[in-house]
């Protein structure tokens, strides 16, 4: 799609929105006597408002993601970016969004909050990419399609060519949630971002970067879309404490942690496959495994008894009889494996 066609998908009131102009938008210098923002002048590290554009943190992220600052949005978790997709593109009570199921629950919750009709395509037993079925469910009011790759809770990635074929043929916005991409064997769609103007890629610092508590989610898209996100978001959506800690913690090298979690994923999957109560361990490109077992609820309870907490996904259509198990540290995984092995 051409950029002008993509911009036509934006709600009219958002296109014409005059955003709140912060004191820091008007004067951008770092030095001076700041009597413009009704702040308290006594320094304590947090008495000034944060940079609403988060340029310093974006600069750091830009280096390791290889994406320009203008193509980036930072939100209070990627959940904020999901909500903004609806607020920017979907007219409440009129437009709709299409997603796959089972997948991440916030796509539906954010649609419901924004009074946007939410349509779902059930994945098959192998959780394969349902491009045609999704396209068939779209109509002229479908503004957004959500894919999650690697998908939560199934753990598999969708083939890149199939996703790209979909993005080329769909006349709306495609949001690809790559929250778990750092654990995946296949490359991120960030590598092709400039070619697809209707693509929004979501990532997060909550998983591989270990910063879930700081709430820093990322969206990447064409600079025009990102500037619309910037005018719709709360002006100071990311606070100084979070940005400062992120800058420090992003200086660590997380590669060895990621490699360890990936090798643990392989080890845990192989060990689970040998166990009597395990029917199937689904292939995973993420930091968790979806496992079908003989009696999911009873095994969940047995694990809880030993203070090992996993996620029971068995009531989710398509995930009957399954538990979703996050890959922990080796000794934590061993503890979980010992309980599953001795069970029944």
Q: Is 83 in the site for ligand PMP (CB under 6 A)?
A: no
Question: Phi and psi (nearest 5°) for 54?
Answer: 50, 40
| Binders in 131-150 for ligand PMP, by CB under 6 A | 148
What's the sign of the alpha-carbon dihedral 326, 327, 330, 336? Answer: positive
What are the residues facing 289 on neighbouring strands? 325
Question: How far apart are CB 24 and ligand PMP at their closest, in Å?
Answer: 25
Evaluate whether 143 touches 172 at the Cβ level (below 8 Å): yes
Whether 202 and 178 have beta carbons less than 8 Å apart is answered as yes
Q: Which is nearer to ligand PMP, 201 or 340 (CB)?
A: 201
The tokens describing 237, both together, are 């959506």
Instruction: Tell me whether residue 104 or residue 166 sits nearer to ligand PMP (CB atom).
Output: 104
Handedness of CA 54, 55, 61, 65 (dihedral sign): positive
Interface residue with ligand PMP among 15, 37, 212, 223 (CB under 6 A) is: 212
Q: Does 314 bind ligand PMP (CB under 6 A)?
A: no
Minimum distance from CB of 294 to ligand PMP (Å)? 27
**Exposure string (b/e) for 96-127, b if CB count within 10 Å is 16 or more?**
bbbbbbbbbebbbebbeebebbbbbbebeeeb
Segment near ligand PMP (CB under 6 A); pick from 30-38, 42-50, 72-80, 224-232: 72-80
* Helix, coil or strand: residue 39: coil
- 78 near ligand PMP, judged by CB under 6 A: yes
Please pick, from the candidates 99, 100, 173, 179, the single residue that binds ligand PMP as defined by CB under 6 A.
Answer: 179
**Judged by CB under 6 A, how many residues of this single chain contact ligand PMP?**
12
Does the protein bind ligand PMP through residue 79 (CB under 6 A)?
yes
Torsion over CA of 166, 167, 169 and 172, rounded to 10 degrees?
A: 120
Asked if 91 and 11 count as a contact pair (C-beta separation under 8 A), the reply is yes
Closest CB 103 distance from ligand PMP, rounded Å = 7
Q: Is 217 in the site for ligand PMP (CB under 6 A)?
A: yes
Query: Contacting ligand PMP (CB under 6 A), which of 83, 95, 120, 177?
Result: 177
The strands making up 322-326's β-sheet, listed across from edge to edge, are 278-281, 288-293, 322-326, 311-312
Judged by CB under 6 A, which of 142, 157, 206, 333 binds ligand PMP? Answer: 206
Nearer to ligand PMP, 48 or 247 (CB): 247
Minimum CB separation of residue 333 from ligand PMP in Å reads: 19
Which residue in the set 101, 204, 284, 322 belongs to the binding site for ligand PMP (CB under 6 A)? 204
Query: Should residue 155 be labelled a site residue for ligand PMP when binding is judged by CB under 6 A?
Result: no
Residues, the chain? 344
Interface residue list for ligand PMP (CB under 6 A): 77-79, 104, 148, 152, 177, 179, 204, 206, 212, 217
């Amino acid at each position: 799609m051409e950029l002008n066609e993509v911009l036509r998908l934006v709600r009219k009131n958002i296109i014409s929105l005059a955003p709140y102009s912060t004191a820091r938008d008007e004067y951008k210098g770092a030095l001076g006597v700041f009597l413009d923002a009704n702040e308290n002048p006594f320094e304590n590290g947090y008495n000034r408002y944060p940079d609403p554009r988060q340029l310093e943190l974006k600069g750091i992220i830009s280096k390791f993601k290889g994406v320009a600052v203008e193509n980036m949005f930072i939100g209070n978790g990627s959940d904020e970016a999901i909500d903004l997709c609806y607020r920017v593109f979907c007219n409440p009570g009129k437009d709709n969004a299409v997603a796959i199921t089972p997948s991440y629950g916030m796509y539906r919750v954010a649609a419901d909050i924004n009074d946007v009709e939410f349509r779902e395509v059930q994945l098959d037993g192998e959780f394969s990419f349902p491009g045609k079925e999704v396209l068939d469910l779209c109509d002229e009011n479908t503004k957004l399609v959500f894919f999650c790759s690697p998908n939560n809770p199934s753990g598999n990635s969708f083939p890149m060519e199939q996703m790209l074929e979909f993005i080329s043929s769909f006349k709306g916005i495609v949001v690809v949630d790559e929250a778990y991409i750092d654990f995946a064997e296949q490359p991120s769609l960030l590598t092709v971002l400039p070619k697809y103007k209707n693509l929004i890629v979501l990532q997060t610092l909550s998983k591989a970067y270990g910063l879930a508590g700081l709430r820093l989610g990322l969206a990447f898209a064409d600079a025009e879309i990102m500037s619309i996100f910037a005018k719709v978001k709360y002006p100071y959506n990311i606070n100084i404490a979070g940005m400062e800690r992120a800058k420090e913690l992003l200086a660590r090298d997380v590669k060895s942690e990621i490699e360890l979690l990936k090798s643990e994923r392989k080890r845990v999957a192989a060990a689970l496959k040998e166990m009597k109560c395990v029917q199937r361990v689904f292939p995973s490109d993420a930091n968790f495994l979806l496992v079908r077992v003989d009696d999911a609820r009873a095994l969940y309870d047995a694990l809880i008894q030993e203070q090992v907490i996993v996620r029971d996904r068995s009531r989710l259509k398509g995930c009957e009889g399954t538990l979703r198990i996050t890959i922990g540290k080796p000794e934590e995984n061993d503890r979980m494996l010992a309980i599953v092995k001795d069970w029944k």
